[in-house]
Amino acid sequence: MEDSPCAFCGAFSHEQCAVGCMTSEVIHTVEFGERPWTTNAERAGNRWDRARDTKRWRESYAWLAKKQHIPKYKWAIVAVQPYQVGGRLQDVGACSPSVKAAIDGLVDAGVLHDDSPEFLRGIYFLRPQRGKNSLKIYIRGVLA
């Protein structure tokens, strides 16, 4: 048995893994160093704020993926880990606007063909942790 659960599904062994992610062979990590943008912040803003924030997160993840030379995946499962320095920890999944923009950036960079279910088989939100403000995305799947 492993010391820690799978970052994608929480399983401790291949037998417990519900989605087959523990049998995947390739994993990459992309991290953007800003406090994750939340659904509440998106709702409180206006359409120009939303467009600006979406563009910043999308372009940042595309640039980071290209800089790291992350190859194209045939299909992938993504786990997201938000980190916050202070304040009340955000709810699990509250960073979904940041995640959607980040995944679109991975598509723009050619890491994923598309974010449809054929190519992106799951998104797992890990509970927020204390740490330097950032959003870390783990990509695991089969290379194209």
* DSSP states along 79-126: EEEEEESSSSPPPTTTTHHHHHHHHHHHHHTTSBS-SSTTTEEEEEEP
**CB contact at 8 A, 24 and 77:** yes
pTM for this model (two decimals): 0.82
| pLDDT for residue 45 | 87
pLDDT band at 19 (very low <50, low <70, confident <90, very high): low
CA distance 57 to 105: 8
Paired strand residues for 139: 28, 78
Could you tell me which residues are beta bridge partners of residue 135? 32, 82
Q: 5-19, 37-51, 120-134: which has the minimum mean pLDDT?
A: 5-19
Window from 16-30, 62-76, 105-119 with minimum mean pLDDT: 16-30
The predicted model gives 105-120 an average pLDDT of 97
Percentage of the chain lying above the pLDDT 90 cut: 65
pLDDT digits (tens, 9 = 90+) for 32-72: 999 988 898 888 989 999 999 999 999 999 999 999 999 99
In order of start, what are the domains of the chain with their CATH numbers? 24-143 (3.30.1330.70)
